[in-house]
Amino acid sequence: MPLVFETLLGKTVKVPEEVIREVITVELTNCFYWSCPNIDVDYSDVMEFLGGSRDPELLRRIARYILVYTENLVLPNYVYMKASMGSEKARAYLDSMKSLLMKLRRLYRILNMEPYGMYRELVDQMLQTCLDHGIDPF
């Protein structure tokens, strides 16, 4: 069953369930920035992370946040493109974001299997991957 979105353009866009599953693997939310109350990261966490923290629990939460943020940023961009430019260009956008999403998911899986010593490096790789694609979660 497709999800239906109302865009700011005044258009209704139906997104097939398989597209939602392709983009969102962790949590579908309309409030995905770190300051949103449903996100398990707050200002002090962000400052601690940006200050170089190696706390494993904090790094796990930051890694999850980066993935949730990126997935939930890609989906509304797809919806907007589908409304404004059509299905073909929206699909091309999703295809262009696949490598980003796949790399973030791979790093997140590795992080959840690795010993604590590698957490900081893996989260830094996740952040750098986002920045390389013009996405800044912070």
Confidence (pLDDT) at 47: 97
Mean pLDDT of 75-86: 96
Q: How far apart are CA 126 and CA 78, in angstroms?
A: 21
Query: CA–CA separation, 98 vs 91, rounded Å?
Result: 11
138 within some domain: no
Q: Is residue 137 part of a domain?
A: no
Using only the alpha carbons of the chain, give its radius of gyration. Answer: 16
Q: How many domains does the chain have?
A: 1
Is the per-residue pLDDT at 114 higher than 90?
no
* The pLDDT value given to residue 9: 84
pLDDT tens-digit map of 6-25:
998 899 999 999 999 999 99
Is the pLDDT reported for residue 125 higher than 80?
yes
Q: By three-state DSSP, how is residue 70 classified?
A: helix
Percent of the chain with pLDDT over 70: 100
Residue 98: inside a domain, yes or no?
A: yes
Cβ atoms of residues 58 and 45 within 8 Å: yes
Query: Does the global pTM surpass 0.85?
Result: yes
On whether residue 111 sits in a domain, the answer given is yes
**3 φ, ψ (degrees, to nearest 5):** -90, 145
- Domain boundaries, position 125: 3-132
